[in-house]
Amino acid sequence: MADFAALLTEQIPRLRRYARALVGTQGADDLVQDSLERAWSRRHLWTGQGELRPWLFTILHHLYVNQVRHRVHAPPLDPLPDEEPPALAPSRHEAALEWRDMERALAELSVDHREVLLLVGLEQLDYAEVATVLNVPPGTVMSRLARARAALRRALQEPPRARLRRVK
């Protein structure tokens, strides 16, 4: 089915952006790849009507939640190098600091909060679509969204505990 393939391919950049924000650099493309493969195996469940994107986000959401659940039993092997973080070109240094702050703050959110915040704030799905993707009532989307934004704002305002040294 060339059409389905073309439609899926079209969605890759959006899926990658969401996955990158959701899980960080490592593992994001794997999650997208799993989602695309799952989309093919579940193709009969897509009616062919409406937007493909929320349906793909739903698939990605299920895969991610399963991953996280699995991790409770088997903590991720994710040893970051215990050396200095990679040196960055000086011109990019400032941006890198902000990136880390947002990344850290996002990572501190619960999965529920991170998902709703990104689907609304970054992916700009409407609330009803988010409710479908996350399979929760619309009221839950709104209350989670309020809590998630409050939590992220708090985290970003907190004095960072281990701020990277600024190199002059």
Binding site for other proteins (CB under 8 A): 1, 5, 8-9, 12-14, 16-17, 20-21, 25-30, 32-34, 36-37, 40, 77, 79-87, 89, 98-99, 102, 118, 120-122, 124, 126-127, 142, 145-146, 149, 152-153, 156
Q: Which residue, 111 or 156, has its beta carbon nearer to other proteins?
A: 156
Q: Which residue, 154 or 163, has its beta carbon nearer to other proteins?
A: 154
Q: Where are the alpha helices (DSSP H) in 49-110?
A: 52-73, 93-108
Cβ–Cβ < 8 Å for 53, 11: yes
81: helix, coil or strand? coil
CB of 91 to other proteins, least distance (A): 10
Q: Which residue, 61 or 63, has its beta carbon nearer to other proteins?
A: 63
Q: How far is 168 from 159, CA to CA, in rounded Å?
A: 21
CB of 85 to other proteins, least distance (A): 7
CB of 47 to other proteins, least distance (A): 19
Nearest of 68, 150, 60, 107 to residue 142 by alpha carbon = 150
Cβ–Cβ < 8 Å for 131, 140: yes
CB of 136 to other proteins, least distance (A): 15
Helix, strand, coil percent content, the chain, rounded in steps of 5: 70, 0, 30
